[in-house]
Structure 1
Amino acid sequence: MSAHQPILPSKAIERVEAAGFSEARKLLADFAAAGLIKTYALARATTPTGQSPETVRDAAIPAEVWQRINAEGKVAEAMEGGTVRLAGSDLIGGEPEVQITAISFSHASLSKVLDRYCSQQQILSTAQAKAVVAPARKAQPPVEEQADPKARADAKAPPPILPGDVVSSVAQAMRATGLGRTKINDLMNDGTLVRKKMGRRTLITVESIERLLG
């Protein structure tokens, strides 16, 4: 565990709040569920249906376990540093029962994510400040603006991927690469674009998009 410089959930929460983000517990759980922050457990016991439990000490916590923690509403328990129990399925081959004791966060991966998101916040704050002090532009006739097909198309287009973004929507990936939805799906299926599920949303890591574009 020493190799990844573990920090307790309470310290991770303090770091997120110090960076200016609200709902620190939910944010940490979402990042872990997306595989963006590495987490570990002092002990992780997994019990498949009808089998004996298998306990691993100093084990990494997979992103899919965090997805179950979110879905079962056990984020608060996970952040308290105690034991989290996830009920398994009664069906053979279904989700196993999981018991996690003493969760910790990787200092390095948390710092990387916060640095990227803090940079994004700074860019947005600078853009907002410029918008306040910028001289007012001459108003354009609303009728002409509505009649311009290009203006309407630009208004409906997804926002671009900003510097510091860790993940993007599928629509943003399509805009960045110029590819259609079918091709994006093919690239996600073959692993070229790394897909991350956050609830019902499908996101794509910016790193894999940058790697695709060279």
Structure 2
Amino acid sequence: MTDQYALTPKQAIEVIKAAGVDDAAKLIRDHAAAGLVRSYAQVQVTINTRGERTCVRGGAVASAAWERMICGGVDSDVWGGGTVRLAGSDLVGGTPALHVTGIAFHADDIERLSNQQRPASRVKAAPKRVAVEQTRVADEDPADVPSPRPTRQRGALDLSALHSGALLLTVKQTEAALAISHTTVYKLINAGKLERPAGETRITAESVRRYAGLID
């Protein structure tokens, strides 16, 4: 898959944690094992009982491989971005050894999983509060009812961080400035449309301004 649609394990965990999930790694791995989250590897090397190696680059990581990682207790190696080594069987025709390096997750699947974890009760409770408010207002003298305060619509741009003079913005500030989701920020970083200095978790304000069309 292209880097534009891939999230590293660390990025995927950040997206899921933003939905209020404590053990994000476990949730992701279980869904990957169930085939509900697509994952890919930079390199997968299969070694049969005769020592013959087969190398696949950029291929999908099968659900069965995730099951082996979980059962073997080595799935924790995934989140560090290193190589996961699964031992094979010594028996002729047995399960081959498998080395998986550089696992990444499909951004759309991670975003969907994140949305599924957000409490639905928050959405359902809103109409009840509105109904109570309408009943209270109906019983009052219209002259005594204050005008409703204007609220910022969801998805509206919040450029306050850009006007602060800061050279670097957090992911959350970038989301607000561009009115985009957490996952989309990482897609834009991977696509090179937003810039993040080496070793930094923050994004340059200049690249955010450029993407927003505020500068050329």
Band the TM-score falls in, shorter-chain normalisation: 0.5 to 0.7
Q: Which amino acid aligns with 2:120?
A: Q
Structure 2: how far apart are the matches of 1:28 and 1:89? 27
Residue 172 of structure 1 is matched in structure 2 by: none
Distance change >3 Å, CA 115–CA 64, structure 1 → 2? same
TM-score scaled by length of structure 2: 0.54
How far did residue 117 of structure 1 move? Answer: 3.4
Structure 1: how far apart are the matches of 2:122 and 2:89? 45
Distance change >3 Å, CA 38–CA 122, structure 1 → 2? same
Residue 35 of structure 1 is matched in structure 2 by: 35
Q: Which amino acid aligns with 1:104?
A: A
Gapped regions of structure 1 (runs ≥ 5): 131-214
How far did residue 78 of structure 1 move? Answer: 0.9
Structure 1 residue ranges, 4+ long, deviating more than 6 angstroms after superposition: none
TM-score scaled by length of structure 1: 0.54
Q: Is 1:122 equivalent to 2:120 in the alignment?
A: yes
How many residue pairs were aligned? 126
| Identity %, equivalent residues | 37
Q: Is 1:102 equivalent to 2:93 in the alignment?
A: no
Structure (1/2) with the larger strand percentage: 1
Structure 1: how far apart are the matches of 2:24 and 2:112? 16
How far did residue 93 of structure 1 move? Answer: 2.3
How far did residue 47 of structure 1 move? Answer: 1.2
Contact 1:26 1:75 in 2 (8 A): no
Residue 15 of structure 1 is matched in structure 2 by: 15
Q: Which amino acid aligns with 1:84?
A: V
Partner of 1:78, secondary structure, is: helix
Gapped regions of structure 2 (runs ≥ 5): 129-216
Q: Is 1:73 equivalent to 2:104 in the alignment?
A: no
How far did residue 3 of structure 1 move? Answer: 7.1
The root-mean-square deviation of aligned C-alpha atoms, in Å, is 2.0
Partner of 1:60, secondary structure, is: coil
* Structure having the higher Rg: 2
Matches for 1:1-214 after TM superposition, within 5 Å: 1-2=1-2, 5-118=5-118, 121-123=119-121, 126=124
How far did residue 125 of structure 1 move? Answer: 8.3
